[in-house]
A and B are shown apart, each in its own frame.
Chain A
Amino acid sequence: MAQATSKPIAPMRNPGMPLDLDWVESVRVNRSAAERRATTLTGRRTVKKQWQAAWLLKSITLMDLTTLSGDDTPGTVLRLCAKAKQPVRQDLLDALEMPPITTAAVCVYHAMVPSAVEALAGSGIPVAAVAAGFPHGLSPLRERIHEIRASVAAGATEIDIVISRQHVLNADWAALYDEVTMFREACGEAHLKSILATGELATLENVAKASVVAMMAGSDFIKTSTGKESTNATLPVGLTMARQIRTFRERTGYKIGFKPAGGIRTAKQSLDWMILMKEELGIEWLDPHLFRLGASTLLSDIERQLEHFISGRYSAFNRHPMA
């Protein structure tokens, strides 16, 4: 299956760096200003008509199509993978004169990795596994590291770990750094996405500092949420993390990816996140190497919007194949 994207070369992988506490301590985030920027940003930019259709198609290719439920079975995972391979009805793609597209990845629990790997064999779509005691991150360290290794061994090429929130809340940056460094080592060749669980970090300054430490420890991506916290990905949090990614790049030259997750359900939201990326980090970050949208139900709203663009009529959920 030919991908529509003319793939940019994957950025050089972040090797990590020694913990720089001066840097961490110098981080400042003004919440009111961040909220103001986040609120007005979506009023400053919008995409309409074919631009909107194109951006929505793009957002599909940036999506980590996800299922993280206690009642997941190999059967539901197969269905999800089928959707990942063909996320948009063929007649819609034809009408838009678009070649086939796929989602960026499929994201599952460790137990579902073999099913996903098998279902996606040959598609080029990577399997991401949540690991390290997801979603709370409070199981024994040895088991968390073991879980990462096991998922990698089972064929996951991306690992979404969770950090220990206590290290952030207690400002124990060395402990956080050590933890993420160990996770990175356990990942080997697999890419490390560090979930900060920002809804439990209390302040944007904590979010920013945790982002910096996670990047110093060698994360390939930093990610907002597990989807299980009471507050999920919000634009002020995304803005805060994006700005730390920008600074990290300025200071080290390495480009770190960003993944908002949790609560992203509408086409409009996916566009807001893409606009945030484009405005704060630049167009380079609208690429699956550097940006993912963690979502489970988002796709069906996007499909409906695409159909509306083509037909001029409002569509219905049951007209699009479920995952």
Chain B
Amino acid sequence: MTVKDIFETLEYGPAPEEAKVAQQWIDDHKGEFGHFIDGEWRGGASHFDSFNPSNGGKLAQIAQGSSSDVDDAVAAARAALPAWQKLSGAARARFLYAIARQIQKHSRLFAVLETMDNGKPIRETRDIDVPLVARHFYSHAGWAQLRDSEFPGYEPVGVCGQIIPWNFPLLMLAWKIAPAIAMGNTVVLKPAEFTSLTALLFAEICAQVGLPAGVVNIVTGDGETGKAIVAHKDIDKIAFTGSTEVGRILRRATAGTGKKLSLELGGKSPFIVFEDADLDAAVEGMVDAIWFNQGQVCCAGSRLLVQEGVAEKVIAKTKARMENLRVGDPLDKAVDVGAIVDHVQLDRISDLVEQGVTEGATKFQPKSFACPKDGWYYPPTLLTDVGPASTVVQEEIFGPVLVAMTFRTPDEAIALANNTVYGLASSVWTENLNLAHDIASRIKAGVVWVNCTNQFDAAAGFGGYRESGFGREGGREGLYEYLREMAGHGGTLRDVAKSSQVPPRPAKSLDVTHKLFIAGKQVRPDGGYSLTIHGQEVSRGNRKDIRNAVEAAEGALGSWSSQTGHARAQILYYLAENLAGERERIGVSDAEMDASIERIMHYAAWADKYDGAVHQVPMRGLVYTRNEPIGACGVVCPDDAPLLGFLSLVLPLIAMGNTVVAIPSEANPLPVCELIRVIEASDVPGGVLNIVTGLREELEKTLAEHDTLQAIWNFGPNGAETETMSAANLKQTWIGHGEDFWAEPGREWLRKATQVKNIWVPYGA
């Protein structure tokens, strides 16, 4: 094309980023890579091909990690652990800092290599992924330095197995490795089999900066390699980012092993546009939400919810904007949407879209351009005429496909937004700050972006509610995933409580009936059976009683969780007061009773004090966190200390705004049965605390399998089963021990009783 022609047409023309240096790096390795174990490179026994999605061409041969490779890597990580932990925070910080520096020095090489391997536009790898990676290591260099002073009472978890996805290969590596090694853990990381190259380049950087051998080990491979990591007996923690489906498998595989687990899973995140929003800004936000990284983003704003009055306008603007997107060679600097990572994914996207159309959706794709024929591309797509029941509205598509629905009121927006099994992220567009913060507080998602979307930073936590997983990455909250509270110090209290005499029960003047406590009422058990315990009849609850109790807990959740902390505190103080008045009839030792009353006072004190934070991200704006209740929760009490054990578990949950269904000690439920009368007298709203007595094994199974419950704490003997069964809806689980509740109560309990929501609010007059 001549200058004169272009002068008339004003086309953009090609603007290719040079691939030479990255290709040279691959060539220097003869296109074949091994594993990085114990600071050394080891060839693989077998290899598989890695492709360039933009043209389908073969990029490199990646080693398939075997279980013996994983064994060696874990052994290396284990061996490196003591010395790494013994290093001062400052010394560890220097390594993280050096890694950050090296990444910056080789930033373009990383960016180009990532684009070649993954297919995402060079603009994104260059301007977003790689800078965020460097930022993550800088920020966590700081946390390494500060660990000892900021996290007293905590220690590193140990050897961490980390499995990451292909959509942000290097960034997810940074999110996993930086906090792990900053806190003094060692890691075995497996990159996704589609995208291993930047992890291998990263391993070279680790070697360059002299990171001690074994601290970071990279084993490449497919799902089989991942399985070997998950199943490995000498791994203390598994961190996974990927699909909800695989997340469930991991939950089951690690159940009962004592491995700490964090899961960052799928999403179908709502993108809510209110009529008073800057609509042009919102439309541009959609580009960042769903046409970022070809929509292959777990937190992609893939469900557009737009207020009816402006829906037509917004859809028209969106279509016009879509015509202006440029789809093509991701190494072109002026391309918005690159290639889909693999033909498998491409097929899945187009199948789901076709299914949507079959179900009645109207499909819009830009008419002004076509996708390249070579390589794996899918055009930006908008599906309208869909409803909550549509498959494309329910399922995560993981592609450049936006589905659009309308709403009339803020309440309806919330109802639609929360009508999903997921809860990863959300985006809210309005110029009204009352509306913005209200909606932000009511969306069930770990991240809320107000008037922005897909913002990430090392200083802010990221992670999901519900079936989007648990655990956070980034921010102070993310560090706890790589820390463990040091063993409890409850020995003294336990010894005193156990050795002291349980006072004899007052003589019965009349017969006593111990019922279940559901929705604020004493009710007879559905089955009509009783158990006899210490000469008294105790109701034997069944499945249906659990069902009713969960319904009551879920029903009470809305008002209890939106109560002020102050109001919850008043109720707990009143409970303590009433318990003190009834101490004689409860039937526990004085030491246990004193500790119980103190514990109620303790959580009453905390009820209005477990504050969120304001994170310092590099943005003009506010990123604040809310420690939100998890929801309706199940509690299985230990037999040890029938009253204190019950209260220790139930109180932090209730104080933080959760509602509870509790199964008291099977061996001795009587103190809790007596407590019911105290609870009734203490203004605890109906449904906030439900108590079902009976046979633990019978009841806890129903609890663990109930899809309404969002968390279950099991301090009984059957924690492993509970963890396995919790996988269906990915409940948060805490399998505890007597050590835990005899020890001092406090923040760690509150941390487990809440989930952190990060709310991003950029501002500017």
Contact = CB atoms under 8 A, between A and B. Distances in A.
Interface of A: 4-6, 28-37, 40, 43-51, 53-55, 57-58, 96-99, 202-203, 243, 246, 274, 278-279, 283, 286
Given A47-B15, A202-B765, A30 B451 contact: yes
A307 to B, nearest CB: 13
B3 A33 contact: no
A278 B10 contact: yes
A36 B287 CA distance: 12
A51 B12 contact: yes
What 6 A-B pairs come out closest when comparing CB atoms? A51-B13, A31-B764, A33-B281, A54-B6, A32-B762, A30-B278
A118 to B, nearest CB: 30
| Majority SS at the chain A contact face | helix
B280 interface: yes
Contact of A47 (B13, B281, B451, B763): B13
Contacts of A31: 763-765
A30 B281 contact: yes
B86 interface: no
Of B6, B276, B285, B765, most buried by chain A (CB within 10 Å of CB) is: B6
A280 B3 CA distance: 24
Contacts of A34: 278, 281
A37 B278 CA distance: 13
A52 to B, nearest CB: 8
B127 interface: yes
20 contacts: A5-B8, A28-B278, A28-B431, A30-B278, A31-B765, A33-B284, A44-B123, A46-B334, A50-B13, A51-B1, A51-B13, A54-B5, A54-B7, A97-B2, A98-B3, A203-B765, A243-B280, A274-B10, A279-B324, A283-B10
Contacts of A44: 123, 334, 336
Contacts of B11: 51
Nearest to B285: A33
A4 B7 contact: yes
Nearest to A247: B280
Contacts of B333: 46
Contacts of A274: 10
Q: Which of B3, B8, B284, B763 gathers the greatest number of chain A CB atoms within 10 Å? A: B3
A58 to B, nearest CB: 6
Contact of B3 (A46, A57, A203): A57
Contact of B15 (A48, A98, A243, A246): A48
A33 B7 contact: no
Contacts of A286: 10
Contact of B13 (A48, A203, A283): A48
B322 interface: no
A33 B451 contact: yes
B451 A32 contact: yes
Contacts of A36: 284, 452
Contacts of B1: 50-51
Contacts of B10: 54-55, 58, 274, 278, 283, 286
B158 to A, nearest CB: 41
B279 A32 contact: no
B764 A53 contact: no
Given A32-B764, A35-B764, A54 B12 contact: no
B127 A53 contact: no
B4 A40 contact: no
Contacts of B451: 30, 32-33
Contacts of B278: 28-30, 33-34
B621 interface: yes
A36 B280 CA distance: 12
Contacts of A203: 765
Contacts of A50: 1-3, 6, 13
Contacts of A98: 3-4, 7
B277 interface: yes
B210 interface: no
B57 interface: no
B1 to A, nearest CB: 7
B30 interface: no
A197 B153 CA distance: 59
B388 interface: no
B694 to A, nearest CB: 55
Nearest to A239: B280
Pick from A30, A40, A48, A246 the residue with the most CB of B within 10 Å: A30
Nearest to A50: B3
B281 A37 contact: yes
A271 to B, nearest CB: 11
A43 B124 CA distance: 9
Contacts of A278: 10
Contacts of A97: 2-4
B620 interface: yes
Contacts of A49: 13
A96 B280 CA distance: 39
Nearest to B5: A54
B457 to A, nearest CB: 14
Interface in B726-741: none
B14 interface: yes
A274 B279 CA distance: 23
Contact of B7 (A57, A243, A246): A57
A274 B10 CA distance: 10
Interface in B10-28: 10-15
B3 A37 contact: no
Contact of B127 (A40, A99, A246): A40
Given A33-B452, A51-B12, A57-B3, 19 more contacts: A4-B4, A4-B7, A29-B278, A30-B431, A32-B620, A32-B621, A33-B281, A36-B452, A40-B127, A43-B127, A50-B3, A53-B3, A54-B4, A57-B7, A96-B4, A97-B4, A246-B280, A278-B10, A286-B10
